[in-house]
Chain A
């Protein structure tokens, strides 16, 4: 199985700051079949980014994804109050889908 390791575990930032979240894969995801999800307390995850860099419908352009092979990044250019949440990466390259353990973005 492909293991996804997210870092940092927690990111403490202020509104308006830039957030950079990392997702590293144990094997190369040659198809770039990697997604990012946002989860707020008491809610289901919501798709933000798919195919490593494509924003899902309705997602603000302050969210961007980049990377390839084993290193992927989610960037939030300017944090809005509603962006403080947990973010998960997921690969759908391998037949066994896997998720990263999550990065919590909290208010500093």
Chain B
């Protein structure tokens, strides 16, 4: 059974860098069928796609966040990470990692998701 688990600081100081990691178990991390994805959800709001990374390091980012984010991968540890610079209160959210699954069709949905990690931005 595939499981994803987010980890990282739950509190980030304004203007600093948010760093999160997603650990993947139960799946072939280097499969060509998967894109490893970050999504966030501000309190009481909808879902915002942040971006994804392929196991070889190829990335695709939301243009609205591209200047501030980096998604990286450590295939040897079955992990991928998100870094977001210059955070503000607007970046406070639940951050989810998820697998975009292309095993059935050329492109696929997000399944499964991690449980999420709540990030607060405050001094």
What residues of chain A have their CB less than 8 Å away from a CB belonging to chain B?
1, 31, 33, 35, 37, 43-47, 50-51, 56, 88, 90, 92-93, 95-102
Interface status of B115 (Cβ within 8 A of chain A): yes
| A45→B108 contact, CB < 8 A | no
* Residue from A50, A98, A100, A101 in contact with B109 in the complex, judged by beta carbons closer than 8 Å: A50
Please, could you name 23 A-B residue pairs with CB atoms under 8 Å apart, sorted by A? A1-B63, A33-B107, A35-B110, A44-B114, A44-B116, A45-B110, A45-B113, A46-B113, A50-B108, A50-B109, A51-B105, A56-B109, A56-B111, A90-B47, A90-B49, A92-B107, A95-B60, A96-B49, A96-B63, A97-B37, A99-B47, A101-B46, A102-B47
Distance to closest chain A CB from B45 (angstroms): 8
The prevalent SS among residues of A at the interface is: loop
Closest to B49 in A: A97
| B46→A44 contact, CB < 8 A | no
| B109→A99 contact, CB < 8 A | no
Number of contacting residues on B, CB 8 A?
A: 22
Closest to B45 in A: A101
| A47→B110 contact, CB < 8 A | yes
List residues of chain B with CB within 8 A of the CB of A51. 104-105
A48 to B44, CA, bound (A): 21
List residues of chain A with CB within 8 A of the CB of B104. 50-51
| A92→B62 contact, CB < 8 A | no
Interface status of B48 (Cβ within 8 A of chain A): yes
List residues of chain A with CB within 8 A of the CB of B116. 44
List residues of chain B with CB within 8 A of the CB of A97. 37, 49
